[in-house]
Structure 1
């Protein structure tokens, strides 16, 4: 009887407020559409965009939410006059990110911290990170040579753990850093788990892993203060904002926790899709290899040299448009009632921007299900509508756009150079269907046969 009353109330609510609100559904009583989102977050936004259009209502994590998809809607969602990220995200997300970091802040404090964080994402900073990327890549490439055949995703996770640890704690590639990756993996599972804190369930284990990462960061901060290093943590310790302020150790540990969260997934997902794409498109691989042979045939790399790799940059951009990496932004909150496309946007409701779906609109990106690096030729890229290419959140650099956007491009170029200069690989029979993880990946782990590139002049016998 109680369930029947709830359903009747829920259906009545749907019919009463549907006239001036965006189309959509509140889903089931109490839980809304949260289960559908958790089951497949990319499909959730894709299906509702196809059914309702660029703006629709839903009910997630106990709150009515309006989703904005497409350049015009996404740009509206980024308007800080109407939307804020302050106290906008569900409590489990806030708790996992230790309550206070860039995705959970807004206003003057967000801008202050963001400008400090951006000091670690400049071309000058990248020149300090490139040797770390090369050192880490070389460590694993030599190991893969010996393996010959293997599943690449577990290996890329190890590489990502080692590189993330190198950037944020000064660690070296190998088992110790790979163990940090296992902690991050457990931490990430908390974002799609039932938010009940028990020591033995996924959410409880995620909170324990969060605390382990914070303890690791605390230790690294102390070590870096005693012996300065030129990694990302070293730069963040001395970076200053426009007002001359720095991050306190408490603020720094939380921001580095957020960067651990973003970097680990961003690194292994990007490299997975780079390797998959080049294997599936021999013509793209050959053209990229020719560019690498021309501009980076050997020797250590630097940021200025990477700028010559225009085609590899286009590949890096198209990877993030084509594949379902980020489904949506962090949540926002409607600060004051407004209107969009003649729909009422009520104060106090949640809001979210659809990322991957926005980049698959045929009117903006013709043949969106086709992988085409040429989309990002300079003149074509410049002509795209504002906030149509939003893999890292869109908007200005000092807004809620991910600070690591350019670093991912550097990473793809550096690892791509080493792969294309020295190695070849081919896919073996397997299931390449993507799973339903927070960041979807091929179900069988991307199995490859890996070896020395036969046409590499350094490998030829005279």
Structure 2
């Protein structure tokens, strides 16, 4: 019997392959090859031959087929920056530690406990913008997200803690857009140093939580410590998983919040419909999880932002433990496997009119009809597997942020460069400047303000 062919594509030079291309332009690497070769193609990265899989069926296969093992084919930058993270584990070890994570960031009871502080932190920034009439969105949201991270993981939302979290997160993100050579003073060397600093911050946080009076902290770390003790997960592994969550929470908050602000500023119809819902459902006062559940259109927007914009290019990598055939192509045993997130969700084969920003594609009945592997900004498969544990809390954060913004009024985007940057998480080159338009016109705003 004739074997299925290998996927199209090129392997490039021995060992190096196309490593320089993906380091130089992470998202462009996938979109350019998708356009040239189609939804499944081969490449060589960091000395490993890979098959890149996109499309709903192939993505779901990657996420659920036990023959694709995680944690043995990731780039050295991932292995070093996410040192001792459960993302690099598979099997029972991964599932036990994932359950600990989910206790901290996924249960409704846990997220409900965080909502009041999340609202207070967000309102501090949004109220500053409304009072000034101006906002420079990205830097202020980075600072705000760092405060959220400080509250949830460190028990410290001070300016000093927030500034350090921002600095560490920025340095660590740079690791994924450069060749991983740890030269001191160069981007990758700074990233490794930032990782070590974050481990020290986490160690201090865990020590504070362990020394605290019962009930003094109710946050992600306190809940993870309790769950880790129940599961027998040692502190050395817990700290690696907390590092992973802190890193993810930075981009996981300020990136979709910035892009949601831009998307509504570009479409007055979507903004007005969203504002009507807010004023009908939760026009003022403390927000609850029940309020956020009833803000159905805002939740649709939060999902469409994560589908439409290039936030995550790919899952953590896997490896084929046996020879496989996927969509008519042969994947040899030992090859790496990559599930491409953004090109899957921006394919017309997966979502109709995929290049249109359309929140109604997530109407409850439409979302229920989506095939597995269609909506994958946080991965796919079971929640106890390799799907991102922060999916639900990000939905809450984006919904809450938009509700608080729309309570204060609307906003316009003045002329600026909205070209998306070539970063790990592409954002407007301008940093996104907005003019706030509250229900009662405010006078005297003279320019941007640091609302932090």
TM-score, scaled to structure 2: 0.93
Deviation of the 1:117 alpha carbon:
1.1
Report the CA distance between 1:178 and its aligned residue.
2.3
Mapped partners of 1:438, 1:106: distance in 2? 25
CA contact (8 A) 1:162 1:181 kept: no
Matched with 1:310 is 296
| Distance (whole Å) between structure 2 residues aligned to residue 148 and residue 174 of structure 1 | 23
Equivalent position to 1:426, from 395, 400, 412: 412
Tell whether 2:107 aligns with 1:119. Answer: no
What is the deviation of 1:193? 1.8
- Please point out which of 77, 87, 98 is paired with 1:92: 77
Give the 3-state SS of the residue equivalent to 2:8 in structure 1. coil
Q: Which residue of 1 aligns with 2:178?
A: 193
Unmatched tracts of structure 1, length 5 or more: 1-17, 457-462
The answer for the alignment partner of 2:117 in structure 1 is: 132
Aligned pairs for 1:222-371 (under 5 A) are 222-227=207-212, 228-239=216-227, 244-371=230-357
Q: Larger relative CO (CA 8 A, sep 6+): 1 or 2?
A: 2
- Per-residue CA deviations over 1:90-124 (Å, capped at 9, x if unaligned) read 222111111x2121110111011111211121110
Q: Could you say which residue in structure 2 is the equivalent of 1:110?
A: 94
Give SS of 1:387's match.
Answer: coil
User: Can you list the C-alpha shifts for 1:16-62, whole angstroms capped at 9, x where unaligned?
Assistant: xx982111111244421112212222221122222222221101112
User: How far did 1:197 drift?
Assistant: 1.3
**Closer, same or farther: CA 79–307 of 1 in aligned 2, 3 Å:** closer
What is the CA distance between 1:330 and its match in structure 2?
A: 1.0
Distance 1:87 1:29, change over 3 A: closer
Cα RMSD after superposing both structures: 1.8
Distance 2:232 2:125 in 1: 36
Deviations for 1:432-456, whole angstroms, at most 9, x for unmatched residues? 0101101101111111123533289
Deviation larger for 437-446 or 246-255: 246-255
Q: Check if 1:20 corresponds to 2:9.
A: no
Of the candidates 21, 24, 36, which is equivalent to residue 51 of structure 1? 36
Cα distance in 2 between the residues matched to 1:119 and 1:141: 30
Partner of 2:401: 415
CA separation in 2, counterparts of 1:90 and 1:104?
Answer: 11
* SS at structure 1 position matched to 2:231: coil
Give me the whole-angstrom Cα distance separating, in 2, the residues matched to 1:39 and 1:53: 21
In the alignment, the residues of structure 2 paired with residue 282 and residue 106 of structure 1 have an alpha-carbon distance, to the nearest angstrom, of: 46
Task: For 1:401 and 1:320, locate their aligned partners in 2 and report how far apart those are by CA, in whole Å.
Answer: 15
Q: CA deviation at 1:198?
A: 1.7
1:406 pairs with one of 377, 387, 392:
392
User: Helix, strand or coil for the counterpart of 1:223?
Assistant: helix
What is the CA–CA distance in structure 2 between the aligned matches of 1:248 and 1:21, rounded to whole Å? 43
Aligned residue pairs, count: 436
Match for 2:194 among 209, 215, 231? 209
Q: What's 2:133 paired with?
A: 148
Which of these residues, 57, 79, 90, is aligned with residue 72 of structure 1?
57
Post-superposition Cα deviations, 1:313-335, rounded to whole Å, max 9, x if no partner, equal 10011001111111111111111
- Distance (Å, rounded) in 2 between the aligned partners of 1:232 and 1:263: 12
Instruction: State the 1:281 CA deviation.
Output: 0.8
CA positional deviation for 1:290? 0.9
Q: Match of 1:178?
A: 163
Is the 1:238–1:246 contact (alpha carbons within 8 Å) kept by the matching residues of 2? Answer: no
Residues 1:179 and 1:147: Cα distance change in structure 2 (over 3 Å): farther
Q: CA deviation at 1:168?
A: 0.6
Contact 1:27 1:58 in 2 (8 A): yes
Determine the structure 2 residue equivalent to 1:6.
Answer: none
Q: Secondary structure at the match of 2:196?
A: helix
For normalisation by structure 1, the TM-score amounts to 0.91
- Does structure 2 conserve the Cα–Cα contact (< 8 Å) formed by 1:163 and 1:173? no
